[in-house]
Structure 1
Amino acid sequence: MEQTRRRPSVAHAHALQEDAMTATDHTPDLFALSGIRGPVLRPDDEGYADEVTGFNLAARNTPDVVVGATGADDVVAAMRWAAATGTPIAVQATGHGANFPIDSGLLINTSRMTDVRIDPSRTATVGAGVKWSLLLEASAPHGLATLNGSSTDVGVVGYTLGGGLPLLGRAYGYASDLVRSFQVVTPDGTLREADADHEADLFWALRGGKGNTGVVTSLVTELLPLSRVLGGGIYCAGEHAEPLLRAYAEWAPTTPPQMCTGFSLLRLPPLPIIPEPLRGRFWARVAVAWTGDLEEGERLLAPVRAAAPVEFDTVADMDYRNADDIYQDPRDPIPARECCALLRDLGPEAVETLLAQAGPAVPDFPLLLVELRHMGGKLAGPASAEDAVCSRDAGYLLESVGVPAGPEAAAAVEAATTSLYAAMAPYGTGRTMPNLHGRPGDASDRARAWTPEAYDRLRRTKSVYDPQNLLRYGHTVAPAA
């Protein structure tokens, strides 16, 4: 794995801040900042397109300048310049959650910050650009695992800032539950250490409040004593979606927290990036990750396997390093229109409504994925310290993904997305999750990711750390008046 420079001290960062401020007092040009070691690029510069393009190709980013940060020092200098010049700030590592185009200002690309250090106390210090795959590979030789989501290609930091809904969430909770501390640069260019005892409001906001209060340069997180799971997918032809979903809705609430599952409707295009035999077909699938006794897990799955004709079944004892094989998420960048809603439960009426919207009887349904993730278990329990995660009362997450490849497809995807969530609203909590919310709308739409109390507190905290609202791209909120 790549090793970056040692984690800088706060005193060192403060010295860099003074240097950066001096530079910006004399010239507003970011190129004059000697503290920035990574590339500093404008739209006409070679390499600019590669720096600003993320995994989600639906967001076309065109910032005025992009900084390829190599460490916390670069972030400090860039943020200090932005504060001095009133330049809005965005941050990107992998760009999986790029649902909002960055059309001006400063983009800080943290993808070079890939330092990982594993501590014998079962913790890891993780740089801002680290993907879950890198952290998992570093952890596995120690018999340890991570609370990653369905794809390990996603960045650790951005995912965790939104709470993070892990593959093993019912068994272990949210990714943010395991974070012990953050190193973060706030928009005034100050490098801070935030944990439960220091900068407690900032620590609260960084665990579920997304990127509203600063740019995280690294975090310290606990790891799990786990190396293997019973994992994979049970696939039926899409025409059998109804009996499989009805059985799943009855079965899932009866399972212990070690059983982490999801039900998916997959309409997969005939493209080479889709593996055989999934390519070009409509599937109904139950994805499984079981952390308990192998034989007990197999016994618990019997009702699902008996619900409908199974075309193929990949559920088996597996090395957790192969976690990506469970949900088979795309590995190549695509344009995506994401959306989600939190559901209270999955009763017969909710099942009927979902099938009427997206089931096999709907011709030419344009969404690539409609998925239900079973929640509860540790996801419903309290966090070890106060946080901004507001989905602990949900029974299921409803998520959808469409591919808006061209104006006609984009219109069809938007119409289907709007119809699906309007129909499912009566069964929802009224809230979303910030990581999967999709394109953020106005203030009331963004507020749906939190309870009213958490939203108000997030705005108040933002007013302390970002009163100029420099961090205004993505799923951000305005500071309180």
Structure 2
Amino acid sequence: MNSDFDSNVFSSSDLDELRRRVRGAVHGPADPDYPTVGFNVALERHPAAVVDAADAADIAATVRFAAAHGMTVGVFATGHGGTPVGSRSILVRTTALDTCDVDPEQRTARIGAGVRWQSVLDAAVPHGLAPLCGSAPTVGVVGYLSGAGIGPLVRTVGSSADHIRSMTVVTGDGTLVTATADENPELFWGLRGGKGTLGIITEAVIEMPAIAEIYGGALYFDGADAVRVLRAWRDWAAGLPDEASTSLALLNLPAMPQVPPMLAGKLTVAVRYASVADAETAAAVLGPIRELAQPLLDAVGPMPYAAVGAIHADPPGPMPVRERGGLLAALPDEAVDVIVGAVTSPVAPLLPVVEIRALGGVYAREPRVRSALCHRDAPFNLNMVGVLADEQAAAAVTGVVDGALAALEPWMTGATLPNFVASDDPARVRASYDEDTAAWLAALADRLDPHGVFRVGQVVRS
């Protein structure tokens, strides 16, 4: 356990002083409503205080307070991408920053730091606009965008961060700054992909394409066909047009109300698909996959963009998980065998999702405005999700996942994507960036955060 969790170093008078500086509620560890649990309940969060920021001014005041007291600041919206926070830190919750204003004529949305993608979908879809969310609409917008974001349409639209018009951020000296391609361009570059390195993002303005309907969903096959389906999917994905995006998930789902009975309690293979082409063209592209084997469930067809979350059908509720993975340079038959071996091992029920996303297409091309997102040339992203039910389960899952990743090393690039790091380990965080980008981010952070306030979580520092 990190020593930061061992004891609290914040006095009651310090709490009182912080309360006087902000409008929102401030919770200490002794308070009954001390809120620290996010989506991943396996993460330990024991901050000195939790500030429910009422607005951006509260965040700025908290940062200045932390700097004056030699403390660090972490941020928490939905907790999906969180990392541990210790007792020498103040945790800022951004839930109250819930602005979600859609401009149909400009095709933009102004979004506060506490907003989830589902709220943006609800506001934008009636205007025929498509917020470029990730696979789960329950995820917070700003945290997702800070890691650049690859969603169900990634091969068609690129990274979600490529569609940001502006971001407003509280930097390490407690200053509120707006960054665009023309105003504070270096900061704008680093905020898109740099996660929490450069400050706390309070608001983002995003651009949205006019997409009302897509052809999408998932084909589910029996796990007995896993090797054959994965090999065929790999070859098929390599030839996809830009209009189509896909991922494949090996699933070990328990029996629960939201899981169709034919998919529960056994290994299944989900081929996810999303296309902006017309239904006839999109169906023809998917044809070779449909013909591989008799699917257990065919849930692919024309769908309103509002239902984009149904493609991946990620679980909405909190759970204790451990995620590991990385970018793949290739997916040969030997790698397929390693991956399938992991999900058919004795700990398979504790590995509910092992996912491979096909990249390429528009995503692999240099965007109009560059960002800190690196490694766009990798063809696949691998993510393995294990459930940490108890210490014994955690050890078993860790052993299988680490063993699989070691066996896959010949085909992995050694790099990761920011939103799939799920760790504050400096080496793993830096693996999201090439050497130059990491150095630029660290230098920019040192300049904007001279007191080292933002050294909590997924940050790059010198």
TM norm structure 1: 0.90
Question: Residue 84 and residue 286 in structure 1: after superposition, are their counterparts in 2 closer, same or farther (change >3 A)?
Answer: same
Residues 316-375 of structure 1: per-residue CA shift (max 9 Å, x gap): 1111111121111001111110112111232333323323x3254x34433111110000
Give the counterpart of 2:22 among 36, 52, 55. 36
Paired with 1:200 and 1:130, the residues of 2 have a C-alpha distance of: 25
Task: Tell me how far 1:416 sits from its aligned partner.
Answer: 1.3
Task: Tell me how far 1:77 sits from its aligned partner.
Answer: 1.3
Q: Which sits farther off after the overlay, 393-402 or 28-37?
A: 28-37
Asked if structure 1 preserves the Cα contact closer than 8 Å seen for 2:29 and 2:46, the reply is yes
Residues 209-231 of structure 1: per-residue CA shift (max 9 Å, x gap): 11111101101110111011111
Matched, 1:264 2:229: no
Q: Which residue of 1 aligns with 2:5?
A: none
Q: Which residue of 2 aligns with 1:351?
A: 336
Matched, 1:47 2:47: no
Matched, 1:105 2:89: yes
Identity %: 38
Asked if structure 2 preserves the Cα contact closer than 8 Å seen for 1:340 and 1:433, the reply is no
Q: Which residue of 1 aligns with 2:396?
A: 412
Give the counterpart of 2:372 among 359, 382, 388. 388
Matched, 1:246 2:231: yes
Residues 124-157 of structure 1: per-residue CA shift (max 9 Å, x gap): 1100011000011110111001111110000000
Paired with 1:227 and 1:453, the residues of 2 have a C-alpha distance of: 40
Asked if structure 2 preserves the Cα contact closer than 8 Å seen for 1:90 and 1:102, the reply is no
Task: Tell me how far 1:29 sits from its aligned partner.
Answer: 4.3
Matched, 1:174 2:159: yes
Q: Which residue of 2 aligns with 1:473?
A: 456
Aligned positions, number = 448
- Structure 1 residues not aligned, in runs of 5+: 1-26
Question: Residue 273 and residue 408 in structure 1: after superposition, are their counterparts in 2 closer, same or farther (change >3 A)?
Answer: farther
Asked if structure 2 preserves the Cα contact closer than 8 Å seen for 1:240 and 1:309, the reply is no
Residues 274-315 of structure 1: per-residue CA shift (max 9 Å, x gap): 454433222111011111111011111111111122111000
Matched, 1:114 2:89: no
The DSSP-based 3-state class of the residue aligned with 2:326 is: strand
Q: Which sits farther off after the overlay, 419-428 or 407-416?
A: 419-428
Task: Tell me how far 1:103 sits from its aligned partner.
Answer: 4.2
Q: Which residue of 2 aligns with 1:278?
A: 263
Q: Which residue of 2 aligns with 1:402?
A: 386
The DSSP-based 3-state class of the residue aligned with 1:458 is: helix
Map residues 61-460 of structure 1 onto 2, 5 A cutoff.
Answer: 61-119=45-103, 120-272=105-257, 274-355=259-340, 357-360=341-344, 362-365=345-348, 366-441=350-425, 443-460=426-443
Task: Tell me how far 1:460 sits from its aligned partner.
Answer: 0.7
Task: Tell me how far 1:101 sits from its aligned partner.
Answer: 4.2
The DSSP-based 3-state class of the residue aligned with 1:445 is: helix
Task: Tell me how far 1:46 sits from its aligned partner.
Answer: 2.6
Q: Which residue of 2 aligns with 1:7?
A: none
Task: Tell me how far 1:30 sits from its aligned partner.
Answer: 5.0
Asked if structure 1 preserves the Cα contact closer than 8 Å seen for 2:22 and 2:61, the reply is yes
Question: Residue 126 and residue 30 in structure 1: after superposition, are their counterparts in 2 closer, same or farther (change >3 A)?
Answer: farther
The DSSP-based 3-state class of the residue aligned with 2:81 is: coil
Question: Residue 193 and residue 256 in structure 1: after superposition, are their counterparts in 2 closer, same or farther (change >3 A)?
Answer: same
Q: Which amino acid aligns with 1:39?
A: A
The DSSP-based 3-state class of the residue aligned with 2:330 is: coil
Paired with 1:232 and 1:32, the residues of 2 have a C-alpha distance of: 48
- Structure 2 residues not aligned, in runs of 5+: 1-12
Residues 8-64 of structure 1: per-residue CA shift (max 9 Å, x gap): xxxxxxxxxxxxxxxxxxx8545455452211110111311xx31111111121101
Paired with 2:84 and 2:21, the residues of 1 have a C-alpha distance of: 29
Question: Residue 192 and residue 251 in structure 1: after superposition, are their counterparts in 2 closer, same or farther (change >3 A)?
Answer: same
Paired with 1:163 and 1:84, the residues of 2 have a C-alpha distance of: 32
Paired with 1:475 and 1:32, the residues of 2 have a C-alpha distance of: 25
The DSSP-based 3-state class of the residue aligned with 1:422 is: helix
Q: Which residue of 2 aligns with 1:12?
A: none
Paired with 2:163 and 2:257, the residues of 1 have a C-alpha distance of: 38
Asked if structure 1 preserves the Cα contact closer than 8 Å seen for 2:193 and 2:373, the reply is yes
The DSSP-based 3-state class of the residue aligned with 1:297 is: helix
Task: Tell me how far 1:427 sits from its aligned partner.
Answer: 1.0
The DSSP-based 3-state class of the residue aligned with 2:210 is: coil
The DSSP-based 3-state class of the residue aligned with 1:301 is: helix
Paired with 1:237 and 1:101, the residues of 2 have a C-alpha distance of: 41
Q: Which amino acid aligns with 2:433?
A: W
Paired with 2:347 and 2:73, the residues of 1 have a C-alpha distance of: 40
The DSSP-based 3-state class of the residue aligned with 1:435 is: helix
Q: Which amino acid aligns with 2:265?
A: G
